[in-house]
Amino acid sequence: MSYRIHIGPNIRKSPYFAATVAEGVQSFSVYNHMYIPGNFGDPQAEYDRLLNGVAMWDVAAQRQVQLFGPDAGRLAQLLTPRNLDGTRVGQGRYVPLCDHQGYLINDPVLLKLAEDRFWLSIADSDVQLWAAGIAAERGLHVEVSEPDVSPLAIQGPLAVEVTAALFGDWIRDLRYFWFRETELDGIPLVLARSGWSKQGGYELYLMDSARGDALWAKVRAAGQPYGIGPGAPNDVERLESGLISYGADMRRQTHPVTPFEMGFGAMIDLETGHDFIGRDALVRLAAEGPRRQRIGIEVDGAPVTGNEHPLDLFHQGRPVGFISEIAHSRRFGKTLGLGIAEVGLGPDSTGLSLHLPDGDRSVRIVPLPFSA
């Protein structure tokens, strides 16, 4: 390639931007109108740290949408089909958001900070505009804003040691997706047990963007004995682990998908009658039954390292779905892909293929989660 994406004032910089540049960041992507590091020049070392050691990621682009006020809880429940009854202060939940047609528009982590204060830690779409619009049109008493909050992830099997060294042993007992408001030498933050990998870890939600360099340096120093190094959300690991990436796997404007198709059916509560955006559409879709479903594939032939856009999936020449992301897994010795396809295609289907830049490839549907 002979072109570059330029850095300019229309895209925001993370509070960790300077720190990641100093670490030798080699590429950025754009997520929630903010640069997010892609890699630091040695993908294999970054993958190995995530699987066997510990990595630190600038994930400030996981922006927070804050709901604050007496109707904050009502608005949170209105935004997601997941039943939030029983969610406690200090607890996080994975909460798909749908539009009125029942299509997914984001899949945030919800943090309940207080009875009247919630954060939606969002994937790549403009949830603040959406939530503010819904709140105003429904006459709710709630402020919707984007607070000065920027997550830094510590991921990998040794993340627990690094985080304990920084905050103390209480962090070992934190349950998955739960969090606590705390500070690190006066740096205000929320510490959560979460992160976009299946290797375990924590996320530090920095609450003062002026302290990005300081927080980065403290985590790096505490991680030094454990071989910590920089990294970024890892496409190979996330495919191996079956994590969903809104924007890659689905996007409302380009490749819309319903929660039933995405495999979120068990999270959707249509029984209790609570009101939420998209309810009527989901009731209808549930009655009809899904026409498409999430699939995993293995790609035959030479390793494929990635794809620049969703790829049409063909069955004996007929388009039957799409593959959203492909990556080669050394661990499993296979090229893996995730996608959406018509129901009825199963592991026994033959004649499935993709058009790749270097020619047609046959592929096989395999059960999720992937394995070696």
Query: Where do contacts with ligand THG occur on this chain (CB under 6 A)?
Result: 62, 94, 107-109, 121-123, 151, 194-196, 203, 243-244
Q: Of 187 and 356, which has the nearer Cβ to ligand THG? A: 187
Parallel, antiparallel, or unpaired: how do β-strands 55-58 and 229-231 relate? parallel
How many of the other CB atoms lie within 10 Å of CB of 86?
7
Q: With the C-alpha atoms ordered 101, 102, 107, 111, is the resulting torsion angle positive or negative?
A: positive
Residues in the chain: 372
| Distance between CA atoms of residues 233 and 220, nearest Å | 17
CB 246 within 8 A of CB 107: yes
What is the smallest separation between the CB atom of 40 and ligand THG, expressed in angstroms?
Answer: 19
What is the smallest separation between the CB atom of 140 and ligand THG, expressed in angstroms?
Answer: 24
What is the smallest separation between the CB atom of 299 and ligand THG, expressed in angstroms?
Answer: 23
| Distance between CA atoms of residues 288 and 172, nearest Å | 45
Residue 350 contacts by C-beta under 8 Å, 6 or more apart in sequence? none
Helix axes 72-79, 127-137, angle to 10 degrees: 120
What is the smallest separation between the CB atom of 296 and ligand THG, expressed in angstroms?
Answer: 14
Quick one: which of 50, 57, 54 has its CA closest to 163? 54
- DSSP assignment, residue 27? E
What is the smallest separation between the CB atom of 1 and ligand THG, expressed in angstroms?
Answer: 27
Q: Of 191 and 244, which has the nearer Cβ to ligand THG? A: 244
Q: Of 122 and 239, which has the nearer Cβ to ligand THG? A: 122
Q: Of 30 and 243, which has the nearer Cβ to ligand THG? A: 243
Q: Of 96 and 363, which has the nearer Cβ to ligand THG? A: 96
Q: Of 214 and 243, which has the nearer Cβ to ligand THG? A: 243
| Distance between CA atoms of residues 152 and 57, nearest Å | 6
Phi, psi for residue 63 in degrees, rounded to 5: -75, 155
| Distance between CA atoms of residues 145 and 364, nearest Å | 45
Q: Of 37 and 108, which has the nearer Cβ to ligand THG? A: 108
Question: Residue 369: is the preceding peptide bond cis (ω within 30°)?
Answer: yes
CB 233 within 8 A of CB 40: no
- Two structure tokens written together for 263: 């495999």
Q: Of 199 and 335, which has the nearer Cβ to ligand THG? A: 199
What is the smallest separation between the CB atom of 180 and ligand THG, expressed in angstroms?
Answer: 14
Parallel, antiparallel, or unpaired: how do β-strands 34-39 and 143-145 relate? unpaired
What is the smallest separation between the CB atom of 53 and ligand THG, expressed in angstroms?
Answer: 19
How many of the other CB atoms lie within 10 Å of CB of 274?
14
What is the smallest separation between the CB atom of 56 and ligand THG, expressed in angstroms?
Answer: 14
What is the smallest separation between the CB atom of 311 and ligand THG, expressed in angstroms?
Answer: 22
| Distance between CA atoms of residues 249 and 127, nearest Å | 18
Q: Of 71 and 107, which has the nearer Cβ to ligand THG? A: 107
